[in-house]
Amino acid sequence: MRSDKPLRGVLFDLDGTLVDSAADLQGTLNRLLPEYGLRPLTLDEVKAKIGDGVAKLVERAFIATGGDLAKVDAAARRFLALYEGHAAALTVAYPGVRDTLMQLQARGLVLAVVTNKPLAATQEILAALDLARFFAAVVGGDSAPRRKPHPDPIIKALADAGLKADEAMMVGDNYHDIEAAHAAGVEAIIVTYGYSHKPPLETGADHVVDTMPEIVPLIARSRS
C-alpha cells in the first residue's frame, strides 16, 4: 500500500520501535506474579508477550505460569498500579531514535505516537527520555475504542495530528502495527528489531528496515 502523495507525517509505535521497555515490563510482571503464587518470567519470555496492551500481556503471563485466567482483569489493574510511575526506570530509546526524530522534524514532518500501552505510561516514558517534544499527537491503548490491529488508534492519531492517511507512514515492529496501518489506508514500515510475533518479512509491510535511521533515506526516496 504505497501513496504518491507527498509525505507530511510519520506515526510511530512505542514499545519495540522507539523504546526498549522490556526490562521495566519484566520487573513489574515479576512483582505481580508472586502475589498470585506464580513464578517469575525471564526477559525473553516477556519480550514474546509484548505488543497487545496490558490485559493481553498479563493474560499471556498467566498462561505461561499456570495462573487462573479468571483473575486476569484484576491482575491487569494491579499491574498498572505497580507500573505507572515506574515505567521508565530501565526503559531506553533504541540507537538512532532521537537523531532520526530530529531529522524528520527538521524536514517539517508531523510526528505522532500510536501504541497499545496505556496513555499515562506512554507519556511518562516519552517525558523521561526527552522524546515528548517531538510528537504533535500521542495515542495510547486506552485513547480509542479499540487497540491495534484495529485501525481506530491510527485514525485518531491522524485526526489529532491533522494528517490524511495518504500523507502519512506508520513505523512499527509487529504485525498489528502493519495491519492497523493498512486498515486505515496508511503505508507501513516495519523494523526488524523489537518484539515481533512473526518474521518481519511475513507481516505485509511496505518497507523493512533494520535500524531506525534507515527510515530517513527511505522516506526521501519513496515519498519525495
Set 4, 13, 142, 206: catalytic member: 13
Burial class (CB in 10 A: 0-12, 13-18, 19+), 219: buried
End-to-end CA distance of the chain: 16
The type of residue at 149 is P
Q: Which residue is listed with cell 525471564?
A: 42
Is 13 annotated in the active site? yes
Question: d(Cα 204, Cα 36) in Å, to the nearest integer?
Answer: 39
| Phi-psi map region of 162: left, alpha, beta (phi>0 left; psi -120 to 50 alpha) | left
Phi and psi torsions of 166, nearest 5°:
-80, 5
Question: d(Cα 215, Cα 119) in Å, to the nearest integer?
Answer: 25
Strand partners, 208: 190
Give me the active site residues, please: 13
